[in-house]
Structure 1
Amino acid sequence: MSDSPKRPATIHQVASLAGVSHTTVSRYLQDKDSLKPKTRVKVEDAVKALDYRPNLVARSMRTRHTNRLAIVLASGAQFPGRLLAAASRTAHEAGYQVEIVSVEGGAGERASRIDELARSGQVEGILALSPVDLTDGAYRVPIVVSSTYDDRLHGLAELADATEMRDIVAYLASLGHRTFLHVAGAEHYASARNRKRVYLETVERLGLRSAGVVDGDWSAQSGFDAVSGLPDDTDVTAVVAANDVVAMGVVRAALARGWSVPGDVSVFGWDDEEMGRFATPSLSTVAVDREAQGRTAVHRLLAEIRGEEIPEPGLRTINHLIVRESTAPPRTAR
């Protein structure tokens, strides 16, 4: 018996197994949605059965296409894994490989790196997720700028939108809560500033009372300290936390004071972290669809590459409220 490695499958073998032409398989690899559903399934099954991997080098030599994209963003401590994973999957499904480029410095440094990539001939398109200072000159490849993160990978745009804070306060008020506390995130984040602002505006607009805003740092300790520091005669019955981590600290401090959650105090978080789903009580929160952002950004870039009309952004928000066990109507007296 020979120990030589198995030769990789060819596009013609895939076509033969699927009962289609090799041209159809090629169309599938470039844009699977262009095929009829029945044909697409047959080709997909053949690709999986043969473990077919397209020869991207040979393809680029024939077509002058590299089938590679670059995603450029700032360097920071909090890497946006969920968004980038969804962006990469979307690109892979369209037949592209993705290079993630994290650049130290500001918008100018990112612009220089983008210019290098555009001139290299190694990529067919570039997606910038942090602001860049691009010149007005023409580039050899399409460049889409989606300023999702700032120079420190802090969320901007939809990630900093605080509209749902109005819904949180209004929902808690509908349960009967009248005195609130907000444990905010770090002030140098746009998302923290926006949530604090909308919280105060909504409390005032609805004629409610805020026992204060505690400027935290996104940590569980900041939530714990905020509730531990409330006076003994406080009438706070609802705490809105900057994120789920802070909310967990709030819950722990409430329990340490002998308060039940949500019997004595309701707690609302933000981010829909997995630990909050399985906590006791499970945490009411705001789910953030970061995957949708990644998919949308790549679809925009692919449209530019193909010369198609860039899809209009949808009206659907990436944030939505999830009500769980940590919120309930307040007791008449603690």
Structure 2
Amino acid sequence: MRQRCERAHPDRRTVSPPQDRGRAPSIRDVARLAEVSHQTVSRVLNDHPSIRPETRERVLQAMETLQYRPNRAARTLVTSRSNTIGVLAALSTTYGPATSIAAIEDAAREQGYHVNTANLADTSPAGIADAIEHLMLQAIEGLVVIAPQVRVFEVLAASSIGVPFVSLQSTGRRDHLALSVDQVTGARRATQHLIGLGHREIVHLAGPQDWIEAEARMRGFLEAIDDAELGLHPPILGDWTADFGYYAGSELVRRRDFTAVFAANDEMAIGLMHAFRDAGLDVPGDVSVVGFDDIPVAKHVAPTLTTVYQDFHEIGRRAVALLLNQVHGTERIEVEDIVPRLVVRGSTAPVAVRPASVAR
């Protein structure tokens, strides 16, 4: 019966890939299809120089036919190398971290490395420790930290992870390399821009407490205010979101004892401008607003947002270079902060003359 069926369908393939349905192909499946030993397949995977070109091509063709992907865990046992780096990230869905992670993945791939990312949905000490443990179980050779809370580094210090790591925020610690944008300088430049336009009553909408970036940007703001010998409005602690920016703006319009706001990121700045517009205030006619990060939408809101640009792509590229430099034990690279630049757009203007009755 089987022979009659095969004659009735002479064009039908009777040879299927040599593996069980539902099972991933193995190195032995590749060897059978390529008609070589599994040791030969292993040598091809490890780029052994003794393999003849025609044999290598036959093995690679068999891998492609079977859609075989080498088991990295198994290769790690043989080579003691996983060619994997880990990324520990918080708020990885926001523009800055997401862009840095994409750049890290691109740079790592160019060097033959894979990237495993652990997102910190839970930033308690236990949650941070679990995320670190997850990455260590992947046999990572190094770690990039894009999680700018002080407590993350406290947990890392207590964990003794045993692999080199690079952070994208300067913490002042000496147990790892830190690569970052000079957040203090960026915030100073944003605040000095407003002061240069004649603003003397400037509010700072800060990021959340315990965030290293938020602290650095607040410090730059305070330094610029102090240098200009201006009165200080108490900074408002935000949470990085446009929703909080809108809430803060709705509260600020009740006071009207300011002429400008420096927000610690663009999303809060955009929420602020929305609240001001809903309250009937003109930006920048009544209030000037500056953000930080230069997210893609910043140049498309109305008015376009004056902000501080930081090169997240370059940060990610340098982070991989620094980390792999440590992994391979080569000479240490000098670490230089990336200095941000101010991008002036339509949300800032010279201070308007205001009636004495609403002055501070």
**TM-score in same-fold range (> 0.5):** yes
2-structure distance, mates of 1:136, 1:255: 51
Q: Specify whether residues 321 and 56 from structure 1 end up closer, same or farther in structure 2 by C-alpha distance, changes over 3 A only.
A: farther
Q: Secondary structure at the match of 2:143?
A: strand
Matched, 1:308 2:330: yes
Matched, 1:162 2:184: yes
TM-score computed with the length of structure 2 as normaliser:
0.62
Q: Specify whether residues 284 and 231 from structure 1 end up closer, same or farther in structure 2 by C-alpha distance, changes over 3 A only.
A: closer
Residue of 144, 149, 165 corresponding to 2:164? 144
Residue of 192, 198, 207 corresponding to 1:176? 198
- Structure 1 position 180, deviation (Å): 0.9
- Structure 1 position 86, deviation (Å): 0.9
2-structure distance, mates of 1:274, 1:54: 39
The 5 A counterparts of 1:193-272 are 193-230=215-252, 234-272=256-294
- Structure 1 position 280, deviation (Å): 0.9
Q: Secondary structure at the match of 2:235?
A: strand
2-structure distance, mates of 1:325, 1:230: 21
Residue of 340, 343, 349 corresponding to 1:322? 343
Matched, 1:99 2:116: yes
- Structure 1 position 2, deviation (Å): 9.4
- Structure 1 position 238, deviation (Å): 1.2
Amino acid at match of 2:341: H
Deviations along 1:201-241, one digit per CA (max 9) or x if unpaired, are 32122022344422223233433333333467835221111
- Structure 2 gaps, min length 5: 1-10, 17-46, 48-63, 146-151, 171-177, 356-360
Q: Secondary structure at the match of 1:95?
A: coil
Residue of 131, 134, 142 corresponding to 1:126? 142
The 5 A counterparts of 1:276-315 are 276-315=298-337
Whether the aligned pair in 1 keeps the contact of 2:260 and 2:289 (CA below 8 Å) is yes
Deviations along 1:155-185, one digit per CA (max 9) or x if unpaired, are x973683331111111111122121112222
2-structure distance, mates of 1:90, 1:209: 46
1-structure distance, mates of 2:164, 2:285: 49
Matched, 1:88 2:105: yes
Q: Secondary structure at the match of 2:180?
A: helix
1-structure distance, mates of 2:99, 2:277: 32
Tell me the matched-pair count: 277
Residue in 1 that maps onto 2:44:
none
Amino acid at match of 2:205: V
- Structure 1 gaps, min length 5: 6-25, 27-50, 151-155
Residue in 2 that maps onto 1:68:
83
Q: Secondary structure at the match of 1:229?
A: helix
2-structure distance, mates of 1:196, 1:331: 25
- Structure 1 position 247, deviation (Å): 0.9
Amino acid at match of 1:258: G
Whether the aligned pair in 1 keeps the contact of 2:179 and 2:336 (CA below 8 Å) is no
Whether the aligned pair in 2 keeps the contact of 1:261 and 1:327 (CA below 8 Å) is yes
1-structure distance, mates of 2:212, 2:136: 29
Q: Specify whether residues 169 and 149 from structure 1 end up closer, same or farther in structure 2 by C-alpha distance, changes over 3 A only.
A: closer
1-structure distance, mates of 2:275, 2:221: 22
2-structure distance, mates of 1:84, 1:163: 24
Q: Specify whether residues 117 and 213 from structure 1 end up closer, same or farther in structure 2 by C-alpha distance, changes over 3 A only.
A: closer
- Structure 1 position 332, deviation (Å): 2.2
Q: Specify whether residues 127 and 192 from structure 1 end up closer, same or farther in structure 2 by C-alpha distance, changes over 3 A only.
A: closer
Residue of 204, 208, 231 corresponding to 1:186? 208
- Structure 1 position 314, deviation (Å): 2.7
